[in-house]
Structure 1
Amino acid sequence: MKFKFLFFLTMLFVMTSVFSQEKKVYDVKIKGANKTKISFIKKILTTKNGRTLDSLVLDEDIVRLKRLPAISHAYYQVFYSHDELYNVFIYLEENKTVIPLVNFWTSTNQQFSYKLGLFDYNFLGRNIAFGGFYQNNGFDTYALNFGAPNLFSKRFGLAFNYQDWKSEEPLYFNNLSANYMYNNISYEVLGLYEVNFKNTLNFGLNFFSEKYKYLSGATDPSVPQNLDLDKILLKLVYMYDNLDYYYQYVDGFKSILYTQYVTSNNNFQDKFFIAWNDFFYYKRVGDRGNWANRLRMGLSSNQETPFAPFALDNNVNLRGVGILVDRGTGSVVLNSEYRYTLIEKNWFVLQGNAFIDAGTWRTPGGKLNDFFQSENIRIFSGVGLRFIHKKIYNAIFRIDYGYGITRNESKGIVFGIGQYF
């Protein structure tokens, strides 16, 4: 009896040892990386040599890779090596990431304008975004940007941005408007930190000066014709990202919270706080359809000033409304569109879309019930086309025609690079 019991314990130990052996990763092999450094790819992967083979972790790694500007598509295969060891093969399809920037347009005052620039979104093959542009819209604008989210480790990096921006902008006060030359010179440094796979933080400082110079239009004793302000901006951005990508299709939920606190030593503008949250929801519909939604909700310090931060603009929120139509100290905007792939070849996609954009604003110095006042609510609907190059990062040329549904609204065509949201 004692022998049988010892035999049972021995067999139980052997069987437990056999079945408890974990499958391990023997080697991770990267295929298809041309410009992107294999050492960088392995640095950001959670799957590594000697670790437990986990399909959930591998799926997460693939999504991480597809989020990189350098990667248009990625997938993996697992092959048995020996004992309980396995080789993991990760296959990449790279994007072209050196992108020239060339834009031409004519503003409402018939000023011919252009922007020329060059950006590399995979500089040195290490997921570093580096580039700049020059713009002339009657004034000279320069910008230089550097962002390296994995500069120090898989989770921590830095970004530096310089900009000397000049433009002619309308300001609105007492049912009147005036045109000002606006100049913003800024130096920004940000820390980029990945909390985990789905959550990231950006935080830092922006030192900038703002100059306003009166050009034309109405005047008011309470609105200065020349203004020169030095400011410091504290910035915090929190992002939750649970999106999955398959070429031009997107599926999942994403949220980005932007918070900024601006300090300034002047008698005209007080310190102020601004925050807004973008909620994104995407849903694949069949083989060719994609339903896309963005809800933006924002508030700022409610100062009664023509320099309010939230703008009503074609290129930001409502397609067809016009350029810098109005400003406010609060904003709620919903953009919803259905995208459908009309033509798809090896590298080219023609996508059509039907959309509705709706928004409402709080007037400077107003109350929260401004959001529910009919005169502050704008609704636009329309259709558009997307011309997409599948092998070049963000190579999406879009054209939309928006038509105002609410009373006495405008209509117009909006061009741009990249999806509207």
Structure 2
Amino acid sequence: MIKLFFAVVFTMCFSCMLYAQDNYVADVKVQGNKKLKTAFIKKVASVKSGTILDSLRIEEDMKLLKRLPSISHAYYQVFRTENGTYNVFYNIEENFTLIPSVNFYTTDDDEFAYRIGLYEFNTFGSNVIIGVFYQKDIYDSYAINFRAPFLFSRRLGLAVNYQDLTTQEPVFFEDETAQYKYNNESFEVLGLYQFNFHNRLEFGINYFVEDYRFKGENINNRPELNVPKWLAKGIYEYNNLNYFYHFVSGFRNIFNFQYVTSSNDMLPDFFIGWNDFFYFKRIGDKGNWANRVRIGLSTNDETPFAPFSVDNNINVRGVGNTIDRGTGTIVFNTEYRYTLYEKNWFVLQGNAFVDAGAWRNPGGDFGDFSKKDNVKIYPGLGLRFIHKKIYNAIFRIDYGYGISKNATKGFVFGIGQYF
């Protein structure tokens, strides 16, 4: 009886060993990539040679690859080898990744500004992003950006940014709205860490100098400032989006927190934090419903230099260039995107949207969010011209028409979806 018992146990263990061997990955093979390096794909993939074959991990790799700027689409195949293990083939459709960046807008107040740039999203074949931009918004501005999410490993990367931004900014005093020439020169270093497929963290510091120079005759003796500052930043993201070319489904959440120190009482130390929640849903074969909710708060100082702004290119299409400021914000953007025409690489997409937002006045209370003067509602229509094989090659035109108090209207142009 004892011999029979051990014989049964040995047979079961041997069978389990054979079964486990049958489900091992012999090799991960990459096909279809040209500029993108095979070694990089194997570096970021969770499925490796010698690991157990797991369809859920392969599906996660597919989602990860389709999020990369260098890849327009990815799919996989699994083949059994002669010795009972499996070869996994990752098939890649690459994007063209040397992309010009163009954003410009106008309103019925004859405002006009633009930003042009050039970005390479797959430098060295390893999804390193290097880019520059030039902006003309009355004054000249420029920036240089470097971002390598997988520089040190499949989890750890680095970002470095330099910016010299000059604009005309309205500053809202009690008895007047004054125009300032505003300059912000900054240098930023961020560490990038990915905990797992869904969760990542950015953390780092930013040194910058803010300069406010009054425009025109300063008859009310308004302050002029030149203030060095340090900023500590943390960004936490949960990403569960799934892409199929220009269609998106799933949800994503990004929380951004910053603490800023200052050496001037006019621009005191403060914190600022905001959370963006995104939800996307495929509707039929041609529809895509997209939503963004932003909620933000900062230190509620009674200052004309409040950090949250109401702006054409950030939150409400058609509203104008920095028409108001606040120490709190609630913004809701929703739009329905519909494919009007699609053939080969080209897609024409129409969209109908509503952008709505409310702000808390500096030194005010939460009741400010419901005051008519602080609420902006802008419905509108737009078009998207999409190239499916070039990363972020979405040229957008939106026209927003305000229906709230003191509303404006205007076009907003740009590259990429608005959100």
TM-score range, shorter chain: over 0.9
Query: What's the counterpart of residue 174 of structure 1?
Result: 174
Query: What's the counterpart of residue 418 of structure 2?
Result: 420
Aligned partners of 2:202 and 2:47: how far apart in 1? 25
Query: What's the counterpart of residue 375 of structure 1?
Result: 373
SS state at 2:75 partner: strand
Q: In percent, how many aligned pairs have the same letter? A: 56
User: Alpha carbons of 1:114 and 1:158: their partners in 2 closer, same or farther (altered >3 Å)?
Assistant: same
Indicate conservation of the 8 Å contact 1:107/1:113, yes or no. Answer: no
Indicate conservation of the 8 Å contact 1:402/1:411, yes or no. Answer: yes
SS state at 2:81 partner: strand
Aligned partners of 2:112 and 2:405: how far apart in 1? 31
Aligned partners of 2:306 and 2:336: how far apart in 1? 32
Query: What's the counterpart of residue 268 of structure 2?
Result: 270
Query: What's the counterpart of residue 284 of structure 2?
Result: 286
User: Alpha carbons of 1:135 and 1:413: their partners in 2 closer, same or farther (altered >3 Å)?
Assistant: closer
Indicate conservation of the 8 Å contact 1:179/1:217, yes or no. Answer: no
Aligned residues between the structures: 419
Per-residue deviation at 1:114? Answer: 5.0
Query: What's the counterpart of residue 47 of structure 2?
Result: 47
Structure 2 residue runs of 5 or longer lacking an equivalent are none
Indicate conservation of the 8 Å contact 1:254/1:279, yes or no. Answer: yes
Query: What's the counterpart of residue 335 of structure 1?
Result: 333
Indicate conservation of the 8 Å contact 1:297/1:332, yes or no. Answer: yes
SS state at 1:216 partner: coil
Indicate conservation of the 8 Å contact 1:281/1:292, yes or no. Answer: yes
Query: What's the counterpart of residue 411 of structure 1?
Result: 409
Summarize deviations over 1:348-375 as a string: whole Å, max 9, x none.
1111111111111100110112112233
Alignment-mate amino acid for residue 289 of structure 2: W
Query: What's the counterpart of residue 307 of structure 1?
Result: 305
Aligned-residue CA RMSD in angstroms? 2.1
Query: What's the counterpart of residue 30 of structure 1?
Result: 30
Query: What's the counterpart of residue 192 of structure 1?
Result: 192
Structure 1 residue runs of 5 or longer lacking an equivalent are none
SS state at 2:72 partner: strand
User: Alpha carbons of 1:368 and 1:117: their partners in 2 closer, same or farther (altered >3 Å)?
Assistant: same
Q: RCO higher in 1 or 2 (8 Å CA, sep ≥ 6)? A: 2
User: Alpha carbons of 1:171 and 1:19: their partners in 2 closer, same or farther (altered >3 Å)?
Assistant: same
Per-residue deviation at 1:2? Answer: 7.2
Indicate conservation of the 8 Å contact 1:123/1:129, yes or no. Answer: yes
The 5 Å alignment of 1:14-413 reads 14-102=14-102, 115-216=115-216, 220-221=220-221, 223-224=222-223, 226-413=224-411
Indicate conservation of the 8 Å contact 2:120/2:130, yes or no. Answer: yes
SS state at 2:39 partner: helix
User: Alpha carbons of 1:2 and 1:39: their partners in 2 closer, same or farther (altered >3 Å)?
Assistant: closer
Per-residue deviation at 1:103? Answer: 5.3
Aligned partners of 1:302 and 1:345: how far apart in 2? 52
TM-score by length of 1: 0.94
Alignment-mate amino acid for residue 203 of structure 1: F
User: Alpha carbons of 1:12 and 1:272: their partners in 2 closer, same or farther (altered >3 Å)?
Assistant: closer
